[in-house]
């Protein structure tokens, strides 16, 4: 087995096979950046970007290259792209509740819109696999989730669905599992780091 | 309600984005908002735009001076491909429509509706 891996490594080096680029997608406030930070921190000790309770904190895609996922003795090198929350509607009013003034909120709405376009651009052009993150306390049947999973399927990209925030008392990750029976679902808490090994095992299996 | 260029008197419809680049006729950067009542006063009564400005006490709008390498003004780099100005009234962002297939509908400032399927399609080869 080790010999095979070495041979594969040799050939991929020889022919310049690129690493799998895994995009972290999901609706706003699903905990995408928290999860991306957790993965990157577990591996490299660094972080990928700041998190906040205000939706659309991540308005530009952020990339971390060469993240080594170790699971069950096997290693997989991937690039991680943390993307802005994808949604079908953005209204600056939702930011006013977080104490922003009108100008700031309008600017954020605009940037968030550009962020969605950027996330979709990555999905269209440059992503080899998707980790679709959902907040376990929310209804998984939201229009945007059904649409995005449909788009990911139509692009024939491998996908892992992450039921995040299982540390919260009203989390119902089982709902997510029954909503997407056709895809592997991993239940984690990106914040607390629960079940991350299950996720790494799945990443090694699905994105290899 | 239109604006008029204070330099050459060219008229622009309300909400026109042309004036943000300066008057296309004379390159003037100052525009006066004119109500329908005084809209043709410059021609019919031989008044200068400055006279009308004084009369109506309207403030002259000055467009920021831009060098050739400066960034285009906000309104020209809108993120939306279509803006709903009011029911039945639309503004099409042709620049954006030409360069990508993404459909983003803007309603007022800071409200957007995004058509994700249009954003997931690969750009058609020319």
CB pair distance less than 8 Å for A114 and B79: yes
Range of the domain at A59: 16-206
Give chain A's domain count: 1
Range of the domain at B25: 3-62
In a domain, B105, yes or no: yes
- Predicted local distance difference test score (pLDDT) of residue B76: 58
- Predicted local distance difference test score (pLDDT) of residue B113: 92
Query: What ranges make up the beta strands (E) of A72-173?
Result: 74-82, 89-91, 129-135, 159-164
Write the CATH number for A119.
Answer: 3.40.50.300
Helices (H) and strands (E) in chain A, counts: 7, 7
- Predicted local distance difference test score (pLDDT) of residue B67: 43
Measured distance CA(B76)–CA(A181) in Å, rounded: 45
Question: Is B102 an interface residue toward A (CB < 8 Å)?
Answer: yes
Domain boundary among B62, B92, B109: B62
Domain boundary among B22, B37, B62: B62
Residue B56 and residue B93 in one domain: no
- Predicted local distance difference test score (pLDDT) of residue B86: 81
Residues B91-105 have a mean pLDDT of 83
Residue B28 and residue B58 in one domain: yes
Return per-residue pLDDT of chain A as tens, 208 residues: 455 556 555 555 555 456 899 999 999 999 999 999 999 999 888 889 999 999 999 999 999 999 999 988 888 999 999 999 999 999 999 999 999 999 999 999 989 999 999 999 999 888 999 999 999 999 999 999 999 999 999 999 999 999 999 999 999 999 999 999 999 999 999 999 999 999 999 999 999 8
Measured distance CA(A184)–CA(A127) in Å, rounded: 18
In a domain, B70, yes or no: no
Residues 59-88 of B with CB under 8 A from A: 79-80
Question: Which of A84, A100, A120 has the most B C-beta neighbours within 10 Å, making it the best mutation to test the interface with B?
Answer: A120
In a domain, B69, yes or no: no
Who contacts A47 (Cβ-Cβ below 8 Å, separation ≥6)?
A37, A40, A41
Residues B68-90 have a mean pLDDT of 69
Give chain B's domain count: 2
CB pair distance less than 8 Å for B79 and A121: no
In a domain, B71, yes or no: no
In a domain, B94, yes or no: yes
More confident position, A171 or B40? A171
The lowest-confidence range among A132-136, B62-66, B68-72 is B68-72
- Predicted local distance difference test score (pLDDT) of residue A148: 95
In a domain, A162, yes or no: yes
CA-derived radius of gyration, chain A: 17
Task: Report chain B residues whose CB lies below 8 A from the CB of A148.
Answer: 116
Q: How far apart are the first and last CA of chain B?
A: 41
Check: complex ipTM more than 0.90: no
Question: Which of B116, B117, B122, B124 has the most A C-beta neighbours within 10 Å, making it the best mutation to test the interface with A?
Answer: B116
Residue B97 and residue B58 in one domain: no
pLDDT of residue B11 exceeding 90: no
CB pair distance less than 8 Å for B119 and A117: yes
Helix (H, G, I), strand (E, B) or coil at A129: strand
Strands A62-71 and A20-25: unpaired
Structural element, H or E, at residue A70? strand A62-71
In a domain, A2, yes or no: no
Q: Min CA distance, B15 vs chain A (Å)?
A: 19
CA-based nearest residue to A99, from A164, A53, A155: A53
Query: What ranges make up the beta strands (E) of chain B?
Result: 3-5, 11-12, 30-33, 60-62, 82-86, 89-92, 103-107, 111-115
Could you tell me the pTM of the whole model? 0.71
In a domain, A6, yes or no: no
Q: How wide is the angle at C-alpha A11 spanned by C-alphas A10 and A13, nearest 5°?
A: 70
- Predicted local distance difference test score (pLDDT) of residue A4: 56
In a domain, A10, yes or no: no
List the structure tokens of B40: 């043709």
In a domain, A11, yes or no: no
Q: How wide is the angle at C-alpha A99 spanned by C-alphas A95 and A100, nearest 5°?
A: 60
Domain boundary among B14, B34, B62: B62
In a domain, B125, yes or no: no
């Amino acid at each position: 087995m080790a010999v095979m891996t070495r041979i594969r490594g040799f050939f991929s080096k020889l022919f310049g096979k690129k690493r799998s680029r895994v995009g972290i997608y999901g609706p706003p406030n699903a905990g995408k950046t928290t999860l991306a930070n957790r993965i990157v921190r577990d591996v490299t000790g660094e972080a990928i970007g700041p998190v906040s309770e205000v939706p659309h904190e991540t308005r530009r895609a952020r990339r971390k290259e060469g993240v080594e996922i170790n699971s069950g003795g096997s290693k997989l090198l991937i690039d991680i792209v943390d993307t802005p929350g994808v949604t079908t509607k953005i209204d600056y009013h939702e930011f006013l509740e977080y104490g922003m003034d009108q100008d700031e909120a309008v600017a954020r709405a605009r940037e968030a819109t550009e962020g969605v376009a950027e996330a979709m651009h990555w999905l269209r052009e440059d992503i080899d696999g998707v980790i679709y993150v959902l907040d376990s306390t929310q209804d998984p049947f939201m229009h945007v989730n059904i649409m995005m999973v449909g788009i990911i399927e139509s692009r024939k990209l491998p996908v892992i669905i992450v039921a995040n925030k299982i540390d919260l008392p009203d989390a119902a990750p089982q709902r997510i599992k029954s909503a997407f029976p056709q895809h592997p679902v991993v239940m984690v808490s990106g914040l607390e780091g629960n079940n991350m090994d299950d996720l790494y095992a799945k990443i090694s299996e699905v994105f290899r | 309600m239109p604006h008029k260029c204070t330099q050459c008197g060219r008229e622009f419809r309300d909400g026109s984005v042309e004036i943000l680049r300066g008057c296309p006729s004379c390159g003037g950067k100052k525009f006066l908002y004119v109500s329908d009542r005084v809209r043709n006063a410059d021609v019919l009564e031989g008044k200068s735009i400055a006279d009308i400005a004084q009369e109506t006490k309207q403030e002259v709008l000055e467009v920021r001076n831009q060098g050739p390498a400066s960034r285009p003004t906000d309104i020209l780099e809108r993120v939306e491909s279509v803006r709903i100005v009011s029911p039945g009234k639309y503004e099409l962002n042709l620049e954006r429509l030409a360069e990508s297939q993404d459909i983003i509908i803007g309603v007022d400032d800071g409200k957007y509706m995004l058509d994700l399927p249009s954003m997931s399609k690969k750009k058609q080869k020319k």
